Structure 1
């Protein structure tokens, strides 16, 4: 799936601010000039280029952007829009229409060179207007608007040249922002709908029906970047989810999967419709809610026009439309009205006269089926994607933009050629010391035993499904396990759910099952295989079951809900079971011989950090922070996880270092998430404190890098100091980004994806900062997306080749699969740990009807704490 918004990479150019932060007055000509910014902390510079790997010729979806007339300036004006009564007006839609009309009717006054408008408060020209403060009357829709433009700053285009040398000053940022706005405005004038940095056309050929009243819409992403090769325009295919345009009631019936309007859940409908735009006759309005009363009871004050004899009267919305507007209403009488406007300007309309306008994003969560359909239909093979990108670039005709022409700007239509390198995959070791070199990022466990298989001697099976082949599954699992070296004894007991409990609440079903377990067994088993009727993402049983096992009893559990049980399915299941119970499925050869230069030379702990958020539109669901840490140094294949809740939608982890008062009143103690990682590393690694900390952080955009570097990193250092004031481990901090739009293609028009192990650190990386792209996985479906790694800090002074080899190797230690994965395993594990912990909270929500839930404002709901995992599983790979 291609996101319509991305956690951005380097360097993503943000949209403009109203007033740059560094300005000084220029008395001789009256305008403001941006001052050289004060010194600020920056990311570390690239120490050099890596060299290992076989060279490979690649193309990338970056297109060279040139600006010739660097002697010119952009003039930044503040925009103040007023209606004919002198009242301020807002909204991007009306603002753009007014400014477009102003430009059309005042070309001479504006210099005939075009302008760039951000849709809100900032406007840029390439010719200075006659006055410092300018006023333009604009007549639109028979109304008179007034546009006030006040000069804010003069921005030299030549400052871009400084940025291309790796020194991104505030002046350069402002100049680059203007270019971004010019490109966005050009897309708007071509009829595109903007969603952040993506553009979508109202064209049926771009639509894919996903069911439930929502549609997948394909468009394209466009962003301007500073790279080693100069300025680059990144164009890519982008997809988003929109509501199906047309009658509101048709959308609601499809969205809630009901037969007719009388079955609609109006509480849910109110949340779904809020802030969507509807067309009513010839005007567009934003929905602010629904009426409390049905259409035939909701009244308003009505006074007929042109009849002074008739006084104002109270009339229902239904009567007004049927009697006064002669509009027949077939089903609206008993349904709520659509409410638009706020306070004194509130208006109500029958639902059947309201039609949803096109290209409106659907921001609520998707069902499993919708998400699967969306992902399947979003995929494009490399050659197909290249064709879509080329067509988008040709369609836009950026070079025709008048302001860009005056700047001497031009955009190449040729893909940028880059030199990549393909790293050699690491050797893996399986049972009996068998070594294997993966091919194309994959390996097969046929006739292989696991490196360290476990013995399962005290286990049970529970069946929450209606399957009748439980004994067959047990037999096949034991047989397949034996082939992989895992010894299963016969289960202690097979527990079938009482039929009368299947309609009970999930928590009650789990309690009843545990009553059976404790009644029939003298002590809890060490492992339970759990059969569910549907996959965990659908199963309401999953959350309470995991919580009961992991928190209260410390039992390792594996859930399964197969449609078909075959040898491949069972093998994948055994990989998870073996890892959860402390075994190892495979080992890197470099780990076995302790010859990994980065890790083996000094005690090294590897951390993976991620934050998981609630579904879109839910601001009352806490976010889950997870930190995964390596243990049993010098291994880099064994991990444990710590998880915490925090405020909804908060990306920075706030529980890294957390001082609390001791229970005995004697000072304070650290209950932060990092302390747990350090203590377990110390106990499992021969009582060695880590000399090196290598951190992989996921899920942050570029504008959050400083927060990670100077908030989260400082908290980690505080945690170290609190444990031992004389302990100063060296830290390497790396951000991993998957949500970006840079793609690589094989030169020569090959239909295949780039090979696994492909790394790029030239031409399209930042000119000064330390970063690189790596595609470690074999892309089997669609176009491979590389991971973009940003090294923000490297106190360990790692050699670029050694660092890339470590990143590549960490893509091969993921214990759940027999393929290299697209991002380092610690980050993937952190995501899994956060997702599993989130189900502990999710199942509690499910016991409240959705129609009774209201979306709370951020910060108004107390953040519930996650329960502490049982000591038996606390340091296991329970998340695997």
Structure 2
């Protein structure tokens, strides 16, 4: 932190009113920086402590006061006003006078005595960094750095400079008792008590070494289909082994009764491609054994931790239960099994939705099997030509569409079955009895068809009837007619390129799309389709689960030899509690949410002053429709106390017009630009221009929604929050420590997806969001890129540079409140159980170093909580007529950890389908929360999300961190 104390406060990226970002250089965070523009109205404001200088005593910063470098009593005030350019005032004693820069060109500002220095470089389009307000809109910008090895070195060096007071006994603390506040209710939970006796299972790593066809020819074993051959080996051994879907075999004894660490085998297997039986040679290396006793020992040890979960034994049981159900559910993913038939086909979007079941053993208070119904979208299977035609119809013959089609099917796995093996001249005859006459009805060469699998590498430039094979001087269509006697039905379609390094084509209609491949459609479209298909109320959901239990194959040899079994065919029942509803406060009074929602009658603090607004239309629309929208938006805003001054004429623009539009906004001092868009294509371009290049607030709305009920109210909620107002306050959030300052933090890391829109990202994006107001309603965010993978090729969940990020957030809080927080409550999203300890050690240690580097004696109480949403625990309320559990339903017994401090909380209303509770697991707590206080505090934070007048499914800071990370991803598109 010495750089912050000596070099001064800030460095800005950009200049002038559309180019002014802000970056504070604290703790040597040259790459990370501070994004510090807060929610309250007109831009970024930073103040030095009144009457405090760098050498002042008793301040919250090391050495006292703010690092303004001036004489005692000096203050630094820096402000970027929306529409007002950049101002910097040195303050009394700072020397050098004040500077005001409106020019928008690169410049530097420096006060005397090196108290601070500012540089205003031109921002890079590829750079990205942001600070979000409570509405989730960006409020400052600078480069979004990638973490480098230097960051780790700095962090390590910092760690060596100052010891971290890491309390081992606070890691994964024991439950401080169960909660008692709330109305008791009974719920069913989709977990079944399961008997797991002690069984020892051997594990073997299978490696195919040679594959021979029926006539003795060696076949290449491609890595991508190795798993198919391993599965075929396992299926050939009947019920002697089961496997994990990869290369691991599990066996109740030694494999085939043979002892040894490395065994070799040669066996006949069924060809996964449906051809003749094959001979496969493979090695089986014994890699260890796993005992189910690990699970019973874990449950018996009252001091066992989540980090000590017997994951190998749990994985073995998960694989077993999926394997014995393979007949009815032949496709099983890592955590679920699926029916072979789709329940909903969306051929217009090139995907089908399949239903399946997730199966997972959970060591809770007992060993239980958690079963849930799941839905997943896969690329449409079937004939490739038919699949493509179902989306494009006759336009599929238009060559201008082929490039887009190519992008949609690139890397798809396909199968061809038109190949013939070498024929032999044989007699094949049928007998027709006409007295004693025998009639021969076939004499000739017989061929057996066989299959090949390919990957799509592209499309031909011409159709099958026009694409010429150079060596043969004939078209592809002619070749397949002469070689295979196939008359193409769609000769006008392009051919599929099946070799990466050479021009080898197969007509599209001769290829079948392999099933269960990831869908390529926009994630939003897929999510909407799945929600529509999977929206099943709890009663119907649990009925389906009971039917699955009855149909599950319990007669397997493995099940009987293991002695596994359900103790009851019904799911377990648990006593839950419905927490009291927190009230929300407006300027005109208070209200209590009903079923998680409230009527937003007024704002607690409307944004001050009139807002100059521009409407930009990026879609075909009628003028009267837009004018009506403008008028209704102004009326709605006025009802809430917000004055919108609209430009008389709406603007029309395309993506290419955006730079000029934003330049015009600056000249006309527009505060807010509202864009009416068609879909998602325009959004990243708008946000990139507004957030990164022009430092201006923008609001997007889809044209299809401008006439829908409640859209205007929701729009005004977002506008008021992002422009600096406060929509409401949640009563009682800070009741536990009324005399203490509390900072609530949310953090998340989003990773690039393997398919779809995520394929354009190569790095992960980490976002950390922190409250800066005592009412916990205003937040700032820091976002940065980091490498996705560790050296071991596993996904990295830990946040790089947490020390610098957290230091910046503390400094921002201190400037706002003239004091550092006494308590920090940290909600961490996206961490699995196996990552608990590594994430906690790295991130908590970094946070503690940031505190001690700010001030040697600064040790705030820190509570570190992981929020998990990707689980399959569901509740079914047993009260008559109930559709879903009520918001505020909490469960902290029976299905939770048997020792540690965790609970499930359903904080939102389930409008359709079955509500999914969030799982909260306390990893560290030196604030000594009790169960009731933490559960009520967490539930209250779920009402603090300013973008909708509803309680949301997890706390507002976690929501904001998720929003911030995805905004950064939009910038990077």
TM-score, normalised by the number of residues in structure 2: 0.70
2:742 is aligned with 1:604:
yes
Cα deviation, residue 487, structure 1: 4.2
2:595 is aligned with 1:440:
yes
Greater C-alpha radius of gyration: 2
Alignment deviations for residues 96-149 of structure 1 (CA, whole Å, 9 cap, x no partner): 112221x14xxxxxxxx7322224332222233242255543223333223443
Q: Secondary structure at the match of 1:242?
A: strand
Alignment deviations for residues 717-750 of structure 1 (CA, whole Å, 9 cap, x no partner): 3333333343222321111111211100012675
2:252 is aligned with 1:126:
yes
Q: Does the CA contact (< 8 Å) of 2:347 and 2:391 recur in 1? A: no
Task: State the match for 1:360 in structure 2.
Answer: 516
The whole-number CA distance in structure 2 between the counterparts of 1:559 and 1:315 is: 54
The whole-number CA distance in structure 2 between the counterparts of 1:759 and 1:566 is: 34
Task: State the match for 1:74 in structure 2.
Answer: 201
Q: Secondary structure at the match of 1:388?
A: helix
Q: How does 1:698-777 map to 2 (within 5 A)?
A: 698-747=829-878, 750-777=881-908
Alignment deviations for residues 443-491 of structure 1 (CA, whole Å, 9 cap, x no partner): 113xx3322223332412223254524554444334333433x141644
Task: State the match for 1:451 in structure 2.
Answer: 604
Please report the RMSD computed on the Cα atoms of aligned residues, expressed in angstroms: 3.3
Task: State the match for 1:632 in structure 2.
Answer: 773
Q: Secondary structure at the match of 1:188?
A: coil
Q: Does the CA contact (< 8 Å) of 1:223 and 1:234 recur in 2? A: yes
The whole-number CA distance in structure 2 between the counterparts of 1:317 and 1:674 is: 63
Q: How does 1:208-219 map to 2 (within 5 A)?
A: 208-209=345-346, 211-219=348-356
Q: 1:396 to 1:209 in 2, by over 3 A?
A: farther
Q: 1:203 to 1:728 in 2, by over 3 A?
A: same
Task: State the match for 1:61 in structure 2.
Answer: 190
Q: Does the CA contact (< 8 Å) of 1:546 and 1:840 recur in 2? A: yes
The whole-number CA distance in structure 1 between the counterparts of 2:200 and 2:787 is: 44
Cα deviation, residue 698, structure 1: 1.4
Q: How does 1:7-46 map to 2 (within 5 A)?
A: 43-46=172-175
The whole-number CA distance in structure 2 between the counterparts of 1:255 and 1:714 is: 53
The whole-number CA distance in structure 1 between the counterparts of 2:501 and 2:808 is: 52
Q: Secondary structure at the match of 1:383?
A: helix
Q: Does the CA contact (< 8 Å) of 1:620 and 1:648 recur in 2? A: no
Q: Does the CA contact (< 8 Å) of 1:732 and 1:795 recur in 2? A: yes
Gaps of 5+ in 2: 1-167, 213-217, 270-275, 419-449, 790-794
Q: Does the CA contact (< 8 Å) of 1:775 and 1:784 recur in 2? A: yes
Q: Secondary structure at the match of 1:480?
A: helix
The whole-number CA distance in structure 1 between the counterparts of 2:897 and 2:476 is: 60
2:567 is aligned with 1:414:
no
> 1:514 is matched with which residue: 634, 644, 662?
662
Q: How does 1:654-693 map to 2 (within 5 A)?
A: 654-657=799-802, 672-685=804-817, 687-693=818-824
Task: State the match for 2:508 in structure 1.
Answer: 351
Q: How does 1:168-179 map to 2 (within 5 A)?
A: 172-179=310-317
Q: 1:494 to 1:652 in 2, by over 3 A?
A: farther
Q: Does the CA contact (< 8 Å) of 2:170 and 2:924 recur in 1? A: no
Cα deviation, residue 335, structure 1: 2.8
The whole-number CA distance in structure 2 between the counterparts of 1:515 and 1:120 is: 56
Q: Secondary structure at the match of 1:456?
A: coil
Task: State the match for 2:243 in structure 1.
Answer: 117
Cα deviation, residue 241, structure 1: 1.0
Q: How does 1:547-558 map to 2 (within 5 A)?
A: 547-558=688-699
The whole-number CA distance in structure 2 between the counterparts of 1:77 and 1:551 is: 53
Task: State the match for 1:874 in structure 2.
Answer: none
Task: State the match for 2:229 in structure 1.
Answer: 94
Task: State the match for 1:226 in structure 2.
Answer: 363
2:300 is aligned with 1:165:
yes
2:324 is aligned with 1:186:
yes
Q: 1:572 to 1:119 in 2, by over 3 A?
A: closer
Q: 1:343 to 1:135 in 2, by over 3 A?
A: farther
Q: Secondary structure at the match of 1:762?
A: coil
Alignment deviations for residues 380-429 of structure 1 (CA, whole Å, 9 cap, x no partner): 111221122222222222x2221121111002421111111111011222
Cα deviation, residue 275, structure 1: 4.3
2:546 is aligned with 1:396:
no
Cα deviation, residue 682, structure 1: 0.6
2:623 is aligned with 1:464:
no
Q: Does the CA contact (< 8 Å) of 1:753 and 1:784 recur in 2? A: yes
Q: Does the CA contact (< 8 Å) of 2:408 and 2:520 recur in 1? A: no
Q: Does the CA contact (< 8 Å) of 1:212 and 1:256 recur in 2? A: no
2:498 is aligned with 1:339:
yes
Q: Does the CA contact (< 8 Å) of 1:164 and 1:226 recur in 2? A: yes
The whole-number CA distance in structure 2 between the counterparts of 1:173 and 1:681 is: 41
Task: State the match for 1:138 in structure 2.
Answer: 267
Gaps of 5+ in 1: 1-38, 105-112, 302-312, 659-671, 843-880
Q: 1:182 to 1:279 in 2, by over 3 A?
A: farther
Cα deviation, residue 809, structure 1: 0.5
The whole-number CA distance in structure 2 between the counterparts of 1:415 and 1:338 is: 52
The whole-number CA distance in structure 2 between the counterparts of 1:81 and 1:786 is: 44
Q: Does the CA contact (< 8 Å) of 1:652 and 1:712 recur in 2? A: no
Cα deviation, residue 193, structure 1: 0.7
Q: 1:56 to 1:610 in 2, by over 3 A?
A: same
> 1:644 is matched with which residue: 784, 787, 796?
784
The whole-number CA distance in structure 1 between the counterparts of 2:752 and 2:882 is: 38
Task: State the match for 2:958 in structure 1.
Answer: 827
Cα deviation, residue 611, structure 1: 2.8
Cα deviation, residue 185, structure 1: 1.2
Q: Does the CA contact (< 8 Å) of 2:595 and 2:909 recur in 1? A: yes
Q: Does the CA contact (< 8 Å) of 2:268 and 2:280 recur in 1? A: yes
Alignment deviations for residues 24-71 of structure 1 (CA, whole Å, 9 cap, x no partner): xxxxxxxxxxxxxxx999733333322221211110111111024x2x
2:674 is aligned with 1:530:
yes
Q: 1:40 to 1:210 in 2, by over 3 A?
A: farther
Task: State the match for 1:858 in structure 2.
Answer: none
Alignment deviations for residues 600-651 of structure 1 (CA, whole Å, 9 cap, x no partner): 3422111111234455524432443222110122x11221222223446865
Cα deviation, residue 808, structure 1: 0.6
